[in-house]
Chain A
Amino acid sequence: MIAKLNRSFRLLSAGAALSLLMVAAPAAFAETPKDTLVEGFAIDDIITMDPGEAFELSTAEVTSNTYSLLVRLDMNDTSKIKGDLADSWTVSDDGLTYTFKLKPGLKFASGNPITAEDVAWSFERAVKLDKSPAFILTQFGLTGDNVTEKAKAVDPSTFTFTVDKPYAPSFVLNCLTATIASVVDKKLVMDHVKPITVDADHKYDNDFGNEWLKTNYAGSGAYKLREWRANEVVVMERNDNYYGEKAKLNRVIYRYMKESSAQRLALEAGDIDIARNLEPGDLDAVTKNADLATTNAPKSTVYYVSLNSKNENLKKPEVQEAFKYLVDYDAIGATLIKGIGEIHQTFLPTGQLGALNENPYKLDVAKAKELLAKAGLPDGFSVTMDVRNTQPVTGIAESMQQTLAQAGVKMEIIPGDGKQTLTKFRARTHDMYIGQWGSDYFDPNSNADTFTSNPDNSDAGTVKTLAWRNTWEAPELDKETKAALLERDAAKRAAMYEDVQKKFLANSPFVIIFQQIEVAGYRKNLKDFKLGPSFDTNYVGPIAK
């Protein structure tokens, strides 16, 4: 009987082997099509493709490649600006009116001509939609009631933008490089607007095409957006109507891939050309592979540990300073953030106007003990830190736990999901928090403002800057930051920010640890692949194969 059974099993295993062979047939090396760029990218943060609404990092990259702006950052020197759709611009003597002349013969991907009217309407819809990024424009005094006056087309090729104060021109222009200022195809979008009944919550009778534009496209960038399927793919195709140098490849595809190790495998196998979310271990392996290369660029995101002044101990300036001496910057830089960050102790990221590159603090337990004794806490104290359960922040928190213990400070780590720790941070019920801040727009004011400004320090305060979230007031620094905003001489403006950073470095409840570096691994057959200094300057247009 066993012989019989054996026979049927032999049959079964033969079948299994046969099916394996079938699968195994073509063992050729995979390659992406010649005319297509394929990137593996964790694009799960994308929630909308409407440039008037989107404020996510992955969307910023897609928008900047598919839409045009009036002006862009100059990639050779990011503290400067160059024209995109704008051929030239002038600032009136009172510093209030900016006049932009458009380049001649511009066309949207749809074929419609680009006029100043489109620019004006793009500003109008961004302000009236009033979504997350709208403040980048409304901070210049634009409201739903005055936007048609403040941002208007004088003639088909002239657009004027009027601001409420004589701001530093560098500030105004830097803000106009943000994706919220993208120019949308008015004629095309108008065909898709949805009527809305006007009531207390809805001031306008239509949605400015917001619903349609969430998943559709009306721009004029180097590429046009063909499709976005959430958590699956973003497909872009070359825009032949683009005014500038045409994109080299026919299409660019972002494939949703979450896992670093999976991205690495697909990159090694040639199924993707670029891997965008490599962690240190996988990055190492990519560096050693002869077919692959890596590139990196510092991004305008800084990681910090903040101390909430609601905690009586953390409120003391000596304790705040002591904590700056209780971080093992060298060890963190050499291991935890190797390849993905560089030690940076000031709040302005390298690359922005006025950024200060000074890292005066080192791990110094003796000095910290001295400071703690001065604060009346010679034996240390106990404190908690809210840490979201991802790397590298968990590793950094654990490292700090050890170094703080050397000075007698017992730190308890409270792990949590990202949104959970953030909710707590924004309610300012934490002791210590480790987080990151990316500039909202590529101008020093973005970071300077959030780290120093706190107009209402009560729990009911609605301007939840980082200073507010840590119950900290710095009226002097705030005043200087506000003054820098109106300084029209760029060099003087830069000097003012340097001064604010120095004072902040010496005296603030923020231990700034490092600046993020974005890294990507790519196949060596790619030409001209570079990462930009911000997430909306990762241009794919120049990439060739």
Chain B
Amino acid sequence: MSIVETRQEVRPRKGRALSFAKALGRFLFAAATTYLGLLAVTFFIGRVVPIDPVLAILGDRAPSHVVERVRREMGFDLPLYEQFYIYLKGILSGDFGTSVLTTNPVMVDIRRVFPATLELATVGTIIGSVIGVPLGVLAAVRRGSIADQIVRVIGLVGYSVPIFWLALISLVIFYAQLRWVAFPGRIDIVYEYSFTPVTGFYLLDSAWQGQWDVFYDVFRHIILPASLLGYFSLAYISRMTRSFMLNELSQEYVVAARAKGLSETRVIWGHALRNAAVPLVTVIALSYAGLLEGSVLTETVFSWPGIGLYITNSLQSADMNAVLGGTIVIGTVFVGINLISDLLYRILDPRTRNR
């Protein structure tokens, strides 16, 4: 292993810069084609669904001359490729069109709904990894023991129980019975007048403005849906941690470390986990990205005004500008998170630097 490393270290500086430019170029090209593919697929699926978009906009009662006029106004009478061309042209000039449902420019809507999802997913992922990683480590260290079995069951339940059902049950317990958490939405209506969000991340906004009562209220609103999402990702994260750790614990350097007389804590948390952490970052990043796009049901149950709910509602109304805009944003975030996890990879694993 170390031989490879040395060889790369001696590469000239210029060559390294060139390889970085190449890598960047490759990345940009890949991103561009990904986007184009994403757009084309979403666009055409949106247009071939057996729903008349004008009907979705105007409802069942509109007189036919209004229907025809709107069809012309929205350009639905043009051939598909022309519609796609017009749409692409708009996007390149930063115009994502206007949502039919909310009548706002799509990007204005997304700026409003996306922070809600992002905040929820971030808290969820933090909960999922803070609990999931130690559980996975425990399961690996005590492989085959009762603890391992319990972690396995916890994981399986999180994976197989419909989150919709789990959400309702947890609402009944923690909200209706115990009254530990608040519901519905992101914030209590009493703060409708006194709290003005700036960034859209309510936890940050309220803390920044020093409104600690608001912060506490927001926390009470977010904790249950975030815990559910956290549980969902915990299931995945703990399984993966377990297998990565098992892999590391069987390595020779662990035996060597133990032979040197290092404490078990150091061996497990300081050596094995640090090595397992490298692929784990990708796992956590992927589950984070998954939470960003896939929390539609949670958002519905908790009346959480996030992007999942926004896209689903738009899709049901054949509001394609909104669906496409949302898809692009989620796609961008997905690519972005992958990129960040790549970078983290480089920081955590010296071997991958300069490669």
Residues of A at the B interface (CB closer than 8 Å) are: 1-2, 4-5, 8-9, 12, 16, 20, 23-24, 27-30, 32-33, 36, 38, 40, 44, 47-48, 55-56, 130-135, 201, 211, 214-215, 229-233, 235, 253, 255-259, 261-262, 265-266, 268-269, 271-272, 417-420, 422-424, 426, 440, 462-464
Which of chain B's residues has its CB closest to A16's CB?
B131
- What are 25 of the A-B contact pairs (CB < 8 Å)? A4-B264, A4-B265, A5-B141, A5-B142, A5-B268, A8-B269, A27-B179, A47-B101, A47-B103, A131-B62, A132-B59, A132-B63, A135-B63, A201-B72, A211-B103, A231-B309, A232-B185, A257-B184, A258-B300, A262-B184, A265-B175, A265-B183, A417-B51, A417-B316, A419-B318
Given A134-B63, A261-B168, A426-B60: 14 more A-B contacts, CB < 8 Å: A23-B180, A27-B178, A27-B179, A47-B100, A132-B63, A132-B66, A229-B112, A253-B192, A256-B185, A256-B303, A262-B168, A265-B183, A266-B184, A422-B60
Q: Does B49 sit at the interface, judged by CB under 8 A?
A: yes
Shortest Cβ gap from B225 to chain A (Å)? 12
6 residue pairs, one from A and one from B, having the closest CB atoms: A1-B264, A230-B102, A462-B64, A132-B62, A419-B51, A232-B305
Per-residue CB contact flags for chain B residues 32-55 toward chain A (1 = under 8 Å, else 0) read 000000000000000001111001
Instruction: Give chain A residues whose Cβ lies under 8 Å from the Cβ of B179.
Output: 27-30, 269
Shortest Cβ gap from B188 to chain A (Å)? 8
Q: Does B96 sit at the interface, judged by CB under 8 A?
A: no
Partner of B61, one of A1, A8, A55, A265: A55
Q: Does B291 sit at the interface, judged by CB under 8 A?
A: no
Which of chain A's residues has its CB closest to B186's CB?
A232
Q: Would you call A5 and B72 a contact (CB within 8 A)?
A: no
Q: Would you call B138 and A9 a contact (CB within 8 A)?
A: yes
Asked if A55 meets B103 with Cβ closer than 8 Å, knowing A4-B265, A23-B220, A268-B176, the reply is no
Q: Does B11 sit at the interface, judged by CB under 8 A?
A: no
Q: How far is the CA of A9 from the CA of B309 in the complex (A)?
A: 38
Q: Does B252 sit at the interface, judged by CB under 8 A?
A: no
Instruction: Give chain B residues whose Cβ lies under 8 Å from the Cβ of A16.
Output: 131
Q: Does B126 sit at the interface, judged by CB under 8 A?
A: no
Instruction: Give chain A residues whose Cβ lies under 8 Å from the Cβ of B138.
Output: 5, 9
Q: How far is the CA of A4 from the CA of B141 in the complex (A)?
A: 12
Instruction: Give chain B residues whose Cβ lies under 8 Å from the Cβ of A440.
Output: 61
Asked if A33 meets B190 with Cβ closer than 8 Å, knowing A47-B102, A130-B66, A426-B55, the reply is yes
Asked if A201 meets B73 with Cβ closer than 8 Å, knowing A47-B100, A269-B183, A417-B316, the reply is yes
Instruction: Give chain B residues whose Cβ lies under 8 Å from the Cβ of A1.
Output: 263-264
Instruction: Give chain B residues whose Cβ lies under 8 Å from the Cβ of A426.
Output: 52, 55, 60
Per-residue CB contact flags for chain B residues 72-116 toward chain A (1 = under 8 Å, else 0) read 110000000000000000000000000011111000010010000
Q: Would you call B171 and A265 a contact (CB within 8 A)?
A: yes
Q: How far is the CA of A530 from the CA of B49 in the complex (A)?
A: 41
Q: Would you call B183 and A420 a contact (CB within 8 A)?
A: no
Q: How far is the CA of A232 from the CA of B305 in the complex (A)?
A: 6
Q: Does B65 sit at the interface, judged by CB under 8 A?
A: yes
Shortest Cβ gap from A303 to chain B (Å)? 14
Shortest Cβ gap from A47 to chain B (Å)? 5
Which of chain A's residues has its CB closest to B168's CB?
A261
Instruction: Give chain A residues whose Cβ lies under 8 Å from the Cβ of B316.
Output: 417-419
Q: Would you call A419 and B55 a contact (CB within 8 A)?
A: yes
Instruction: Give chain A residues whose Cβ lies under 8 Å from the Cβ of B56.
Output: 419
Instruction: Give chain A residues whose Cβ lies under 8 Å from the Cβ of B109.
Output: 230
Q: Would you call B103 and A48 a contact (CB within 8 A)?
A: yes
Instruction: Give chain B residues whose Cβ lies under 8 Å from the Cβ of A133.
Output: 61
Shortest Cβ gap from A288 to chain B (Å)? 15
Q: Does B198 sit at the interface, judged by CB under 8 A?
A: no
Q: Does B153 sit at the interface, judged by CB under 8 A?
A: no
Q: Would you call B52 and A5 a contact (CB within 8 A)?
A: no
Instruction: Give chain B residues whose Cβ lies under 8 Å from the Cβ of A134.
Output: 63, 66
Which of chain B's residues has its CB closest to A215's CB?
B103
Asked if A259 meets B264 with Cβ closer than 8 Å, knowing A201-B73, A269-B176, A419-B317, the reply is no
Q: How far is the CA of A4 from the CA of B258 in the complex (A)?
A: 14
Q: Does B335 sit at the interface, judged by CB under 8 A?
A: no
Which of chain A's residues has its CB closest to B176's CB?
A265
Partner of A56, one of B59, B172, B181, B305: B59
Q: Does B58 sit at the interface, judged by CB under 8 A?
A: yes
287-320 of chain B: CB within 8 A of chain A: 300-303, 305, 309-310, 313, 316-318
Q: Would you call A38 and B303 a contact (CB within 8 A)?
A: no
Q: Does B16 sit at the interface, judged by CB under 8 A?
A: no
Instruction: Give chain A residues whose Cβ lies under 8 Å from the Cβ of B310.
Output: 231
Q: How far is the CA of A102 from the CA of B134 in the complex (A)?
A: 74
Q: Would you call B180 and A262 a contact (CB within 8 A)?
A: no
Instruction: Give chain A residues whose Cβ lies under 8 Å from the Cβ of B175.
Output: 265, 269
Shortest Cβ gap from A18 to chain B (Å)? 14
Q: Would you call A55 and B64 a contact (CB within 8 A)?
A: no
Q: Would you call B178 and A24 a contact (CB within 8 A)?
A: yes
Q: Does B189 sit at the interface, judged by CB under 8 A?
A: yes
Instruction: Give chain A residues whose Cβ lies under 8 Å from the Cβ of B178.
Output: 24, 27
